[in-house]
Amino acid sequence: MKVLELSHRAVSQDSIEAKKCFACGGPATSGIGEHIIPKWLQNECRLFDERLTLLNGTQIPYRNLTVPCCVGCNTGFLSKLESSVQPIFHRGAVLSGEDRLALARWLSKILIGVLVKETGLMFDRSQPGHGSIVDPGFIEELRHCHFVLQSARKPTSFNCLHGEFPFSFYCYNISDYRNGHEFDLSTNVAGQSIAVRVGPLGAIFINDGGFQMHVGAKGPFELSGAELSEIQFREIAARVHYKAALRDATHFYLTVENEEKIQIEQLHVTSFSGYLPGSDELRIFRDWNEAELSYAMSTYMRVERSKIFDEETQTCRTSLLLPRPFDD
């Protein structure tokens, strides 16, 4: 089986439009499809009536939040993927690179699910106002996200420019979450980032080839690995999502696959807007703007913007400056 061919087939406008399996592009099995938020998690965190709000304002309960999938993928590698992350969440700690990769694959699956759901809505003919052409750049980025997901099917070696893996990943320990608040999810479709907390473990994945980790190995305020409160985790997520939306560059990849393994190589960086003015350095992120950040923080933290943004200094207040112990 040539995994990359399957993923290439899955990540095309035609496949998404025709509601093919999101993971292999083959015919989707009739039935409900793959739950974007898996059932074990819905059960453990009692999420059946929780909803995800899509870009067009539609709210979908997690129990109905599915993407087209074939029975082979659903009961095969995707099922194994679910089993691989459950012990990590139950333990509440990320102990190794293998754990990180397992979580990243799982988060990339949820992110791809959300992106496919959003993209599928754009093709919904009952809502013609939404248009029907998806930016080719978006499809290309989705393909990069699939590299991470598909590495669950076949041994994959990554050779990356900024670190071990072609993505950015941060994790946190949230010890004092409230009863009934076992789960937290936020995504940024434009920036292709996702933050999930299950009980005491919060994890953030950005499908950016590793750019955020390149400029900040431990993320906002260098807190990756630290112990945070619920609201602090939300603030970190807001800052990461905002930064992800500022990304102005992408990677060019070379992929090789044989029967035994896949090799993914990041060859070089391409900037969408080119070089920084008066410099030979590529622009990777657009300029950070505290006023813009305040809107992201207000949305993701569910706090009024006036409480976050200090008009006088034009800066955002932060909940992250109290010293916290580090894990590593």
Residues that bind Zn ion (CB under 5 A): 21, 23-24, 26, 70, 73
The CB-of-146 to Zn ion minimum distance in angstroms stands at 12
Cβ closest to Zn ion, residue 34 vs residue 184: 34
- Residue whose CB is less far from Zn ion, 45 or 70: 70
Which of 73, 303 has the CB closer to Zn ion? 73
**Spatial CB neighbours of 152, under 8 Å, sequence gap ≥ 6:** 77, 78, 80, 81, 84, 105
148 vs 320 by CB, closer to Zn ion? 148
Encoded amino acid at 54, one letter? L
Report in angstroms how near the CB of residue 2 gets to Zn ion at its nearest: 14
- On the 0-12 / 13-18 / 19+ scale of CB atoms within 10 A, 105 is buried
Nearer to Zn ion, 23 or 236 (CB): 23
CB of 135 to Zn ion, least distance (A): 25
Residue 68 Cβ vs Zn ion, minimum distance, rounded to whole Å = 9
H or E, element range at 113? helix 97-122
319 Cβ contact list (under 8 Å, min separation 6): 229, 231, 232, 235
What is the Cα–Cα distance from 169 to 148, expressed in whole angstroms?
12
**Cβ partners under 8 Å of residue 196, min gap 6:** 107, 110, 183, 184, 185, 202, 203, 204
Q: Crossing angle for the helix pair 230-245 and 290-301, nearest 10 degrees? A: 130
Given the complex with Zn ion, which of 9 and 305 has the nearer CB atom? 9
Closer residue to Zn ion, CB minimum distance, 109 or 162: 109
Long-range contacts of 192-195 (CB under 8 A, 24+ apart): 192/111, 192/115, 192/141, 192/145, 192/244, 193/111, 193/240, 193/241, 193/244, 194/107, 194/110, 194/111, 194/114, 195/233, 195/236, 195/237, 195/240, 195/241
User: In whole angstroms, how close is the CB of 39 to Zn ion at the nearest point?
Assistant: 18
3 state DSSP class of 253: strand
State the nearest-atom distance from the C-beta of 10 to Zn ion, in Å. Answer: 7
Nearest distance from residue 56's CB to Zn ion, in Å?
A: 26
